[in-house]
Chains A and B, each alone.
Chain A
Amino acid sequence: MPEGHFSQDGRRRLLLVALGRQRVGKTALLNTIVQYFRAAGSEIEVWNADQQNRTHSLSTFFPDASLPPDGGLADTRGWIEGKLKEQAEHGYHAVLDAGGGFTGFSALVEDVPVIEALGARGTDVIGLFCVGPEQADLDYLDSFSKEQLFVPDATMIVMNAGLVLSGRSSGAAFAPIAQNAAFKAAVARGAKVAMFPALTCMAEVTDRGLTFEEAAAGKVKPGQHPMSMFDPTRVREWWTKKVPDFFDTFPPAWLPTARAASAVTAEEGGR
């Protein structure tokens, strides 16, 4: 593979920010992104600014996740600024779980045009607006857009199929969301839409603090009850088929870089 075929790989850093109400799947989405792309060799830092979610926070799954210091919004905002500076200096990708409600991240974007500032320093911001089937789930997208606070060119509206009640079809559940004026306005600006696949036994995996690979292999931690007979199969199907299909709906430039193409082709040649 000649050098330079994929100029964006390794040059543009990505900051993936998950936004949305509480319990719409921000942490589950970022957990999946980090596990998936780290497994492929991407260097991704995990920034966990969600201080309200303890049991299922990113720190449960990634011991190396960075946490803001105890304090108020101004402290969290300052911490995020510091992390952004570090990222620009060291050149890795990062995910930020901003948490729900008015957060340090909201305070930061109200204060400075973050997207433009980071873009000038070589970091592309990817906005992941997580929504369930409730109209109020679009409030974040609506308010961030209306006030022009945080409107990245790379905006992905992630519909969480795991939030659709059992027995309902995804189409029926999410159609009202798709007809929402804020949703359509975002799509008209270039936002893309993806559906995060449901994993019926997600809680069985996350409550045990397992990685998806461990769960797919039927592993549990010492002292934990084994998973039910079919759960590892469910996880395997989800992890190896549905999740790759989900990422396939993203424009490639919006996802963390996997290993350099040359590294992969050399490895293939060595098999």
Chain B
Amino acid sequence: MTDTKRVRLVRKKKIRSFGGRGQIYSWLRTHHAAIEPLKAIHLNLWAALAADMVEDGVTEAADGRGLRDRIWKSWQRVCRDVASEAAAARPKRVPPSRISPDWRPTVVPPRPAVPTQQPASSSGAIVPTGRTSLVDPNDSPLVQAEMAKLEGMFHEADKRRLPR
């Protein structure tokens, strides 16, 4: 019956191996460029991708238990890895300067440190950190990961704004 024949979402490709990563990750990473533009238009993306994976012999996708979450988590990781690789590959441009690299500006010496009072953590008050980054190495890995994601969200949101 032709009306039940499934149409693949992404074109079949030879799956690259990404050392130490699972099959689902490798499959998603190989097809990243093809999947990225689809996510805005295809709500059941994960279901359709799973079907393509099964067709390509990805045995990890044959087990349906929690598959959608496994695909989603792998996809988040793939996106992070692709973004950080792209950032690392960008050449760092150093503008020419006539100023000696040893020059330092004259600065007012810092005030002696004054001990700060930390508010009780249950009060809902801001915890002063003095850092510019939201990622606090003293937090649990879970909190650090979410804060790093949040910084990425802020960056993305601000990148889209037009200069005023």
- 26 A-B pairs with CB atoms under 8 Å apart are A1-B47, A1-B50, A2-B54, A2-B64, A8-B68, A161-B157, A166-B164, A170-B153, A170-B158, A171-B155, A179-B126, A180-B127, A184-B143, A187-B146, A190-B142, A193-B146, A193-B149, A194-B153, A245-B40, A251-B69, A252-B46, A258-B44, A261-B44, A261-B48, A265-B6, A269-B6
Q: CB within 8 A of A266: which of B3, B39, B123?
A: B3
On A, residues with C-beta under 8 Å from B are 1-2, 4-9, 37, 40, 135, 138-139, 142, 146, 161, 166-167, 169-171, 174-176, 178-182, 184-185, 187-188, 190-195, 197, 240-241, 244-245, 248-249, 251-253, 258-259, 261, 264-266, 268-271
With A181-B122, A252-B72 already in contact, the answer to whether A188 and B127 are too (CB < 8 A) is no
Q: Chain A's interface: helix, strand, loop or mixed, by majority?
A: helix
CA A181 – CA B128 in complex, angstroms? 10
**Contact residues of B: prevailing secondary structure:** helix
Give chain B nearest CB distance to A160 CB in angstroms. 12
Q: A258 CA to B47 CA in the complex, in Å?
A: 10
Cβ A180 vs Cβ B69 within 8 A:
no
A5, A176, A245 pick with most chain B CB within 10 angstroms: A5
Q: Judging by beta carbons under 8 Å apart, are B7 and A184 in contact?
A: no
Apart from A264-B48, A266-B4, 7 more pairs, CB < 8 Å = A5-B67, A6-B64, A40-B43, A161-B157, A181-B121, A245-B39, A269-B4
Q: Which residues of B contact A252 (CB under 8 A)?
A: 46, 68-69, 72
**Closest CB in chain A relative to B132 CB, distance in Å:** 9
